[in-house]
Each structure stands twice: as structure tokens, then as C-alpha cells.
């Protein structure tokens, strides 16, 4: 009996220690801020804020199962490239130059894209750290280097953030960009994270769906998506979004993470068709499709938007799903060809000028990458 009491006491002490450690870990800056005061009141006023959390319309009901996810995880897909991913290095000097008119992009890997649109320089979901994790000593590591190291980034006017997961909202990247005056356009609640990371309040713009902001004559529209959120857990504590950026001459759409739904057609009806669409194609699974659409759905979303050119994003950089590494782009290119959709597949760091000829290369295939 005495031994049993000792074991029980030891287990209670262990549980208490683990609880304290967990509490301390979740208080680390990388897990973001708290929602209170005027920010919380504004969140509560959103039509998407239901019963203390943000919800999709219609609500998302997960059909994931532990057994199914384990079976998928144990699959034999080759989830990392078996060759060195070609990366075109970028120069910090280019960021010191004034932004010309027109529309140009540089895909940086995963969902991060540098955009120059009608005189404004914008980044989508910039993650330039080595790992997509709250800790830089553990977690999914980059499968290729960034085209330009984080320390050399400057001259960025705006950043749009689709949601607060670690592969889309990176503390170190945000903190670095904020030092040079970058403005951040985020869904409701995400401003609390930026505030915790010492981003000055005038540089934070929290937006609900269908709200619009202006920077240097370019309109930034916060538009719907179908996803979820949370830094500590999947609690839907902040609002996820897609973004339409409209200049005097050019228009670009960024999907963020999303499942396929009717919001693509609605966005076109309300804001018109974009010229260039950056659409998520990777990190999907059979049970995730309501919140992570597959390549064929991405092509259909592009058609719903009525866009001119598709630039696939959200693949290649981190091992975050159970499909093969190149599968998303291979399936996207095949689906685009079948439907007559114009798709461009630039290498990481490669410049694409909207409206100018672009020759796709199958660089994501081993033989092409070594030539």
C-alpha cells in the first residue's frame, strides 16, 4: 500500500511538472498574444465569430480519424526531393530600388511570394526562417534555402497574412520586416500576435472579410477562405482569409490555405476577375479537402475566379503532408492542360512578369533539375 501511494504521488508530481512546463512553453512569444479589450470586441462583432470562435460558412466538420491518419503517415510516398532543388538567388540591392509599374512576382517557396504591383512591394505569408515551428531547433525544416536570407530583406511596403499557422506566420520574419516600416494586413485577432512581437500599432491592419485598406493607391481586399486557425491548438481563435490586391492597372489574388467552396465565385462577382492568381495546391489529404483543396480543385477555383494566369503555391518547401513531393505541381499542370488553363511554374526565386512570355521548365523532375 505504501509503494502504491509513492507511485501515485510521483505521478501527481510528474503531472504537475508537465503542466507547469506546458504553461511556460505556451507563454513563449512565438505562440503569440492574447485577445482582449477593443480587439476582442471587434472580433465578436464579426459575422464569422460564433460561440466564441470563428467558423466557416457552412461550418467545417472534420472526418479525420486517428487510424486513417496513421495509415496515411505510414505510406510509401517520397515526400522530400531526391535532388537539390534549383534556387535562383536574389539580390538585396533590387529591394533598394523603387518599384516599377506593372506586375511581377518571385516565388520564394511554400506560400511566400514577393509581388511588385503598380508601384507597391508586397509579400504573401513570408516564412524565411529555417523551420516552420515555434522552435528553431525542432520541427519541419526547409527543403531548400530561401532565395534571399532573412537578414537582407528590406523595402517591403506590405505583407498579407492568410492565417496564423506556423508555416504562414513566422515570428522572426515578421519582427525583421517590421523594423523597416512594413505594414501588415491580417485577419481579425492576428494583430495580437504581432503586438506581442513588438510590431508598432500603426503598422498593423486587422481586417474582417470584405473590408478594404489602401496603400499607395493600391487596394487590399480581405476576402473569404475555408480553413481554420490557432497557434496553440486548432481553436479557430483568429480569422483566416484570402486576399485580392487591386492596383490602377493590375489585380492579383492570393488564396491562402483553403478548401474548395463557393467563395471563389463570390469573390469574382463582388470584386471582378484578377489577372494573376496565386493558388494553394499542396499539403492535402483525402480527409482534409474541406480545408486543404487538392490540385484539381485548385484549377477549378482558378476558373471560378476567372483569372488569366495561375501561379501554384504552397508546396516544395516543407514536408507537411502525406503526398509525394512533386505530386501537387504534376497534378496541377495536368489538370490545367486538360482545361486549357494558363499555368506558370517558376523555379524558387525566379522572376515572372505578368503579360510577358514565360517558358515553363519541369525543374521539379529529377532529370530536368540536373540538366
CA 169, 175, 176, 179 torsion-angle sign: positive
Q: Does residue 73 fall inside a structural domain?
A: no
Residue 294 lies in a domain: yes
Give all strands of the β-sheet with 183-187 in edge-to-edge order: 204-207, 183-187, 158-160, 120-124, 112-117, 103-109, 351-353
A 10 A CB-CB count for 198 gives: 11
- Domain span including residue 176: 92-370
Q: For the chain, what is the domain count?
A: 1
Omega prior to 368 cis, within 30 of 0: no
- Can you tell me the distance from the alpha carbon of 360 to that of 348, in angstroms, rounded to the nearest whole number? 13
Task: Answer whether residue 68 is part of any domain.
Answer: no
Q: Which residues contact 40 (CB under 8 A, 6 or more apart)?
A: none
The cell numbers describing 51, all together, are 460561440
Indicate which CATH number applies to the domain containing 187: 3.60.15.10
Count CB-CB contacts under 10 A for residue 156.
20
Q: Would 316 be classed as within a structural domain?
A: yes
Q: Name residues whose C-beta falls within 8 Å of residue 355's C-beta, 6 or more positions apart in sequence.
A: 102, 103, 275
Local mean pLDDT, 10-residue blocks, the chain (371 residues): 64 59 64 95 98 91 70 81 96 93 97 98 98 90 97 97 98 98 98 98 98 98 97 94 98 98 98 98 92 97 98 97 96 98 98 97 78 48
Q: What whole-number distance in Å separates Cα of residue 110 and Cα of residue 176?
A: 19
pLDDT value of position 271: 98
Whole-number pLDDT of residue 370: 47
Q: Cβ(255)–Cβ(108) under 8 Å?
A: no
pLDDT of amino acid 11: 59
56 Cβ contact partners less than 8 Å away, ≥ 6 residues apart: 48, 226, 227, 228, 290, 291
CA distances from 106 to 194, 272, 289 (A): 25, 24, 27
pLDDT at 208: 98
Cβ contact 239:224 at 8 Å? no
Measured CA to CA, the distance from residue 213 to residue 220 in angstroms comes to 5
Is residue 222 classed exposed, middle or buried when 0-12, 13-18 and 19+ CB atoms within 10 A define those classes? buried
Q: Which three cell numbers stand for residue 240?
A: 483566416
Asked whether residue 363 is assigned to any structural domain, the reply reads: yes
pLDDT tens-place string over residues 76-133: 889 999 999 999 999 999 899 999 999 999 999 999 999 999 999 999 999 999 999 9
Position 72 in a domain:
no
Residue 203 contacts by C-beta under 8 Å, 6 or more apart in sequence?
178, 181, 182, 183, 184
The span from the CA of 212 to the CA of 308, in Å, is 23
Is residue 286 one of the residues assigned to a domain?
Answer: yes
d(CA 363, CA 345) in angstroms, rounded, equals 9
In a domain, 13, yes or no: no
CB atoms within 10 A of CB 130: 16
Amino acid at each position: 500500500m505504501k509503494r502504491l501511494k509513492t507511485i501515485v504521488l510521483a505521478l501527481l508530481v510528474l503531472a504537475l511538472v508537465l503542466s507547469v512546463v506546458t504553461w511556460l512553453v505556451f507563454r513563449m512569444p512565438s505562440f503569440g498574444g492574447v485577445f482582449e479589450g477593443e480587439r476582442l470586441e471587434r472580433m465578436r462583432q464579426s459575422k464569422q465569430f460564433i460561440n466564441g470562435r470563428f467558423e466557416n460558412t457552412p461550418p467545417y466538420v472534420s472526418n479525420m480519424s486517428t487510424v486513417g491518419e496513421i495509415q496515411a503517415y505510414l505510406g510509401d510516398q517520397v515526400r522530400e526531393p531526391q535532388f537539390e532543388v534549383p534556387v535562383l538567388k536574389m539580390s538585396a540591392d533590387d529591394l533598394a530600388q523603387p518599384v516599377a509599374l506593372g506586375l511581377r512576382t518571385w516565388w520564394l517557396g511554400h506560400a511566400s511570394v514577393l509581388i511588385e504591383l503598380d508601384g507597391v512591394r508586397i509579400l504573401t505569408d513570408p516564412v524565411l526562417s529555417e523551420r516552420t515551428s515555434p522552435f528553431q531547433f525542432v520541427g519541419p525544416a526547409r527543403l531548400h534555402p530561401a532565395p534571399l536570407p532573412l537578414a537582407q530583406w528590406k523595402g517591403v511596403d506590405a505583407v498579407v497574412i492568410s492565417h496564423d499557422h506556423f508555416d504562414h506566420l513566422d515570428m522572426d520574419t515578421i519582427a525583421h520586416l517590421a523594423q523597416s516600416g512594413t505594414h501588415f494586413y491580417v485577419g481579425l485577432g492576428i494583430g495580437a500576435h504581432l503586438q506581442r512581437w513588438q510590431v508598432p500599432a500603426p503598422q498593423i491592419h486587422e481586417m474582417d472579410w470584405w473590408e478594404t485598406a489602401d496603400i499607395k493607391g493600391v487596394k487590399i481586399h480581405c476576402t473569404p477562405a475555408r480553413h481554420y486557425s490557432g497557434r496553440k491548438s486548432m481553436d479557430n481563435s483568429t480569422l483566416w482569409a484570402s486576399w485580392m490586391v487591386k492596383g490602377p492597372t493590375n489585380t492579383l489574388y492570393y488564396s491562402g490555405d483553403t478548401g474548395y467552396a463557393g467563395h471563389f465565385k463570390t469573390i469574382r462577382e463582388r470584386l471582378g476577375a484578377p489577372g494573376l492568381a496565386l493558388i494553394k495546391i499542396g499539403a492535402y489529404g483525402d480527409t482534409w479537402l474541406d480545408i486543404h483543396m487538392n490540385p484539381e480543385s485548385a484549377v477549378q477555383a482558378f476558373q471560378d475566379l476567372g483569372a488569366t494566369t495561375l501561379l501554384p503555391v504552397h508546396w516544395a518547401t516543407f514536408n507537411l503532408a502525406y503526398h509525394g513531393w512533386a505530386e501537387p505541381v504534376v497534378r496541377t499542370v495536368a489538370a490545367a492542360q486538360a482545361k486549357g488553363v494558363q499555368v506558370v511554374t517558376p523555379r524558387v526565386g525566379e522572376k515572372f512578369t505578368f503579360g510577358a512570355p514565360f517558358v515553363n521548365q519541369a525543374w521539379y523532375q529529377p532529370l530536368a533539375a540536373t540538366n
